[in-house]
Structure 1
Amino acid sequence: MRRIGTFTFLILGLFAQAPAFASGPGTTAASFLKIPVGARETALGGALTAAADNSGAVYYNPAGLGLLARPEFSFSYNKYVEGVSQQWLAAAYPYGPGAFGFGLNYLNAGSFDSYDNSNNRTGSVSAYDLAAYLSYGGRIEPGYAAVRSILYGASVKYISEKLDTEKAAGYGLDLGFIVIPRVKNLKFGLGFDNPASSRIKFIDEGAKLPFKVKTGIAYAVAPDSPVSSVLFLFDLIFPGDGARYAALGIENLLYRTFSLRAGYSSFGDLSNGMNFGLGVNLAAYTGADLGIDYSFGSSYDFGNIQKLGITYKFGNPARGIKPAAAAPAELAATLPEPEPGVSVSSAAAPAKPAAEQPLKESGSSFKTLLGMLGNEDPEIVRDGINFLAALNDPRATDPLIALLYSENIDIKLAALSGLARQGDERAQKAVEGRLRDIEPRMRMLAAEVLGGRGGESAGKALEGALRNESDDKVKSAIIKALQKLNRW
């Protein structure tokens, strides 16, 4: 049986690209956890400590769950040598000022020959490794001059390993933080893997999960551009059971739909370190916020390694909008007068139904207004929002909802004001969702809008937001809104 255990840990050590772990059983616990998960994340070299902003944050940095605005689900699959595969499943659900997350990491080592201590073949055995994560990430706005937001999170993981009839199990804890300074488009990340863990005993030896410190930085260039934006990532990792190493990645998002990725990690010497990947978001084509990701890398021992992943975000998708010139003067003359800097009070109540207020634009005019939303000039975008909101056209709801996910706070505020004038249920739900926005000003505006709109749904959303709100100014805005609804 000793030969089986040694062989298994050797295999897992090779997969983890860490030769130090291949020396024998007990050298480290749960080596499979060192294999990166997710196709997009792998293509970026695993450098996600400061940029984990989706359900994959469960694994890379649970603090990133505090950035989620909508529920989402992701799954990835990768196959190594024949019979050995890894599956990663993750889901996240926003709640209060953060989000809960769940992850499942499963490595199936397949079947292989077993030998006794005299090198006699005794048959074949199978093996698998599994880790289940339960996470929460939230945020606070400390009000510091240099810091806009601090995200925090934790993941509790249960680990189970099986080799033939032998089993091992244990627990671990991961902690993470992300700091968003007032410097635009910059983030800093800090993670601690396994500051607390149980001893995992496998066969006749055991070990604790290795402690690891992760630091990271992420910087985005032109994240609001409808044509091309670039994300730069860099991580420096300090494992407690090996030498420090670096990871970096770059992602180019084109037309808010196509992604080109490359990454590098200096972890171990069995891999050439480079990974590449592609991604496509099908929201603009299917109406569903469905993303497909692919990564490609190679190792000196196992050849090419490929991963395929899918991500689905529930709710209204942030659709890609192609850029276009601002609306010409003759078009603007045919539209209702926009309200630059729409006040909260006037925006709070929805406009008259479209049936009572005939539309003044043709189909081509409406498309031109959509083009304004994709302009690189934020002022033109805000003008487009005001024009669309004044039309009270139900077709404007989805584009306005999409702009709620802009990284430009002024555009987000304008879009929220525009949605306040839309009378449909989708707009109502979108405004209620902004009570969980990372920006206090968005939460304050959402509260005032809901106070003006009224209704049972608005009242329940405000009461729930008040229970979870930590910012005093936002609390005050929510209370005022509840007073308008006679619920305070």
Structure 2
Amino acid sequence: MKQLAIFFFTITFCLTARSQPGGRGVYAFVNQSVSARIMSMGGGMLAIQDNDITLPWLNPALLNKSMDKHGSMNFNTGYSKIKGGNDIKNGYFAYSRNYKKIGTFSAGLLYMNYGTFNGYDPNGDPTGTFKATDNCLNISLGRQYKTKWSYGASLKYVYSVLGEYISNGIGVDLGGIYADTAQKLTIGLVVKNMGVQFVPYAGTKRQGMPFEIQVAISKKLKHLPLLYNIVIHDLQSPDFRYVNTNSTSSNLDANNKPKIQKMTMGDNILRHFILGGEFNIKSFNLRFGYNHQRRKELAPEIRRSTTGFCWGVGIKISKFRLSYGSAAYFPGINSNQFSIAFNLADFKRNKKG
């Protein structure tokens, strides 16, 4: 009980913390959904502890011994319905090993490929084509403390190339979880992207990474094969009001100054929430999620459609677990993710047999 009180005190402290709002700063791509499962449940799963090796990307405290020798390959098909634009593609690869006396390690690589662009000088004359890519290598360690507690840390190295502009930097994630297996309840807390650029882009000053504090709770229902997940994100930024450039009304007041978006307290609170669920039926999984901030900020006022909603499925075939996830970021435009997870120990056991 004492440990639980300390955990909730930490969460309360984080709720009052003020820092750089999430989404600002450089290297925003590190907040990508790296797997189909994560994408299909809204983008936040920092309180679900199982053998999914992609989840420590969200919270390193989720690393545990059941992930030993597990690997995962994940691919995003991009936003292919955007006419005249490049297909933005990304992928994530991860592998983990457990060491009894040290803890569980994992290593992963996230890459973003924004495609090829036409370059022009200040006079508008073409200078040829250039490519834009972002990459992030992360190394994580997670350990269990007593029976119900776990903690972990991740180190991220970022390398970004935007044509002739090159930058690199480093970031750190710290996380903790409280897991009550008897109640099938898990609470997670993570402080993400504490870092800065080593080398800024030419002509710019050093900036911080998109710092963020998140807390989440997940629980498996007793009489229904459903796991639900609730995430509260951007705790360091309680106020989400901003100048809405997508508004159909004027963005300037009588003094010709930008208007701060009008937002009810309820709407502001809901924008901090991500809701997700997963039905587990033997070797088949059905997933769904909703991101209120995404719906409010990315969809046009006159046609929101399914923006903010996401879904996906998972199935185990032989030694592999295959997953598909889809998330609506704009009416008629979805991002689609495919994942393949495996355990190398399964192949070795069969070989010996």
Report the TM range for the smaller structure's normalisation.
Answer: 0.7 to 0.9
Correspondence for 1:298 = 328
Aligned residues: 281
Task: Tell me if the contact between 2:69 and 2:95 (Cα under 8 Å) persists in the aligned partners.
Answer: yes
Correspondence for 2:308 = 273
Distance 1:133 1:238, change over 3 A: same
Distance 2:235 2:208 in 1: 13
Output one character per residue of 1:50-108: Cα deviation in whole Å (capped at 9) or x when no partner.
11532113311111102535320001111223432101111111211631001111001
Correspondence for 1:119 = 124
Output one character per residue of 1:178-198: Cα deviation in whole Å (capped at 9) or x when no partner.
111365100100000123444
Correspondence for 2:303 = none
Distance 1:137 1:61 in 2: 9
Distance 1:182 1:89, change over 3 A: closer
Output one character per residue of 1:166-222: Cα deviation in whole Å (capped at 9) or x when no partner.
210010000110111365100100000123444551222131112210100010124
Q: Confirm whether residue 259 of structure 1 aligns to residue 285 of structure 2.
A: yes
Task: Tell me if the contact between 2:61 and 2:151 (Cα under 8 Å) persists in the aligned partners.
Answer: yes
* Higher-helix-fraction structure: 1
Is the partner of 2:122 in helix, strand or coil?
A: coil
For normalisation by structure 2, the TM-score amounts to 0.73
Distance 1:159 1:140 in 2: 30
Q: Confirm whether residue 48 of structure 1 aligns to residue 28 of structure 2.
A: no
Alignment-mate amino acid for residue 287 of structure 2? R
Distance 1:191 1:72 in 2: 23
Correspondence for 1:83 = 87
Distance 1:200 1:266 in 2: 35
Alignment-mate amino acid for residue 311 of structure 2? F
Paired residues for 1:178-327 under 5 Å: 178-181=177-180, 184-199=183-198, 201-205=200-204, 206-222=206-222, 229-238=225-234, 240=236, 243=240, 245-254=272-281, 256-268=282-294, 269-270=297-298, 272-282=307-317, 286=318, 288=319, 290-300=320-330, 303-316=333-346
Task: Tell me if the contact between 2:167 and 2:197 (Cα under 8 Å) persists in the aligned partners.
Answer: no
Distance 2:106 2:324 in 1: 23
Q: Confirm whether residue 38 of structure 1 aligns to residue 35 of structure 2.
A: yes
Query: How far off is 1:240 after superposition?
Result: 5.0
Task: Tell me if the contact between 2:179 and 2:187 (Cα under 8 Å) persists in the aligned partners.
Answer: yes
Is the partner of 1:207 in helix, strand or coil?
A: coil
Gaps in structure 1 of 5+ consecutive residues:
1-19, 22-26, 142-147, 318-396, 399-424, 427-488
Distance 1:303 1:176 in 2: 33
Q: Confirm whether residue 155 of structure 1 aligns to residue 154 of structure 2.
A: yes
Output one character per residue of 1:252-301: Cα deviation in whole Å (capped at 9) or x when no partner.
011x200000011234422511111010012xxx3x2x100001122227
Alignment-mate amino acid for residue 225 of structure 2? S
Distance 1:126 1:239 in 2: 35
Task: Tell me if the contact between 2:109 and 2:138 (Cα under 8 Å) persists in the aligned partners.
Answer: yes
Alignment-mate amino acid for residue 279 of structure 1? G
Distance 1:92 1:137 in 2: 11
Is the partner of 1:315 in helix, strand or coil?
A: helix
Q: Highest Rg: 1 or 2?
A: 1
Of 59, 71, 74 in structure 2, the residue corresponding to residue 73 of structure 1 is: 71
Distance 2:54 2:112 in 1: 17
Correspondence for 1:442 = none
Of 107, 110, 113 in structure 2, the residue corresponding to residue 105 of structure 1 is: 110
Of 56, 59, 63 in structure 2, the residue corresponding to residue 58 of structure 1 is: 56
Alignment-mate amino acid for residue 137 of structure 1? G
Query: How far off is 1:110 after superposition?
Result: 1.0
Alignment-mate amino acid for residue 279 of structure 2? N
Query: How far off is 1:124 after superposition?
Result: 1.6
Distance 1:198 1:183, change over 3 A: farther
* Higher-strand-fraction structure: 2
Alignment-mate amino acid for residue 63 of structure 1? A
Is the partner of 2:72 in helix, strand or coil?
A: strand
Correspondence for 1:164 = 163
Distance 1:248 1:149, change over 3 A: same
Task: Tell me if the contact between 1:155 and 1:173 (Cα under 8 Å) persists in the aligned partners.
Answer: yes
Output one character per residue of 1:219-253: Cα deviation in whole Å (capped at 9) or x when no partner.
0124xx9xx62110000011657836211110001
Distance 2:277 2:65 in 1: 20
Worse-superposed segment, 92-101 or 159-168: 92-101
Gaps in structure 2 of 5+ consecutive residues:
1-21, 80-85, 241-270, 300-306
Paired residues for 1:363-374 under 5 Å: none
Work out the percentage of aligned pairs sharing the same amino acid. 25
Query: How far off is 1:160 after superposition?
Result: 0.3
